[in-house]
Amino acid sequence: EYLCIACADGQFSPYGTECGFCPRGSYSEAESSSCTLCPAGKYSASTGVSTCQSCVNYRAGTWYSSQNGSHTCSRCREGALCELNEDGLRTTMTNDHGFYISTDSEGGEKAYPCRHGVGGSACLSHGRCYHDENGVEVMTGPFCGNCKPGYAKNSIDGLCAPCSSQGVSFLFVMVQALIIAAMALCMSLLVVTTDFTKPKNQVAIILKIFLSYAQITMA
């Protein structure tokens, strides 16, 4: 004659005669005849447990589990940020600062180091690209390597900066032209009124040389 046994939490008895501990990755409530696998997003690292723990609080960093019966959680790949729901399930994966999400050789997603800017500073987290001091996103494209219209890079792996304004350049040229014209007028007056054979008039000669240099730089 067999005596049925009521098993405690974390144990099971398929025949009701002897209790055993549920293996890792599973759990049971009292008086269970079998163990239940931990659902995806949760885990049990020990035998004989009555509940499974969420991967949300597994360790520092981002951890998740994507299959039933897990006894541990998987760490989010280097350079990636795994967004978890309240059950510890990974819902989306995006890039961390200095990395860019692209397709690997097997067709899956992988975080690659960003190749633009110091330390990959062109690539910001969550799929964003470099912003200028005004908060405007000025880079785009694969690995945030392209400049938006009105911006350019000084080097192939540098950051984008505003292009020189044509209006500012024209104003600069006009100011230079006015300065040279004023100096030319002064020189004309000096030529008319100065005797260059006298040593005291060497200043006028120096001014004339400077004017010639300024004209060359404007050419």
- Same domain? 186 vs 134: no
Residue 192 lies in a domain: yes
Please indicate, yes or no, whether residues 177 and 189 belong to a single structural domain of this protein: yes
pLDDT at 77: 82
DSSP secondary structure code for residue 80 in this structure: E
Are 182 and 211 in a shared domain? yes
Name the domain boundary from 162, 183, 200.
162
Residue with tokens 């001014």: 207
Q: What is the pLDDT of residues 79-98, one digit of tens each?
A: 988 877 877 787 778 899 99
Query: How confident is the model over 150-178, as a mean pLDDT?
Result: 74
Distance CA 83, CA 160 (A): 30
Q: Is 88 within a domain?
A: no
Is 91 among the domain residues? Answer: no
Within its chain, how far is the Cα of 202 from the centroid? 62
Tell me 97's DSSP state.
T
Give the per-residue pLDDT at 32: 92
- Model confidence at 57, pLDDT cuts 50, 70, 90, reads confident
The answer on pLDDT for 133 being more than 70 is yes
- Is position 81 within any domain? no
Is 17 in the same domain as 62?
A: yes
Q: Given this model, what pLDDT does residue 11 score?
A: 94
Assess whether 63 and 30 both reside in one domain: yes
Give the residue from 21, 42, 75 where a domain finishes. 75
Same domain, 135 and 187: no
Q: Which of 19-33, 57-71, 102-116, 129-143 has the lowest mean pLDDT?
A: 57-71
Residues 11 and 57 in one domain: yes
Q: Would the pLDDT of 211 be above 60?
A: no
Question: Is residue 58 domain-resident?
Answer: yes
User: What are phi and psi for residue 81, nearest 5 degrees?
Assistant: -120, 120
Q: Residues 134-160: pLDDT tens digits?
A: 899 999 999 999 999 999 998 999 999
Mean pLDDT score, 187-198: 61
Whether residue 86 lies inside any domain: the answer is: no
Q: Which residues form the domain of 51? A: 1-75
Query: How wide is the angle at C-alpha 159 spanned by C-alphas 156 and 163, nearest 5°?
Result: 95
Number of domains, the chain? 3
Residues 156 and 170 in one domain: no
> Which structure tokens are listed for 17?
């005669």
Q: How many CA atoms lie within 13 A of 161 on its CB side?
A: 10
Tens digits of per-residue pLDDT, 8-19? 999 999 887 889
One domain for residues 192 and 138: no
CATH of the domain at 21: 2.10.50
> Domain check: are 6 and 70 in the same one?
yes
Whether 7 and 60 share a structural domain: yes
Tell me, yes or no, whether 141 lies in a domain: yes
Last residue of a domain, one of 11, 43, 75: 75
**Is 171 found in the same domain as 112?**
no
Determine, yes or no, domain membership for 83. Answer: no
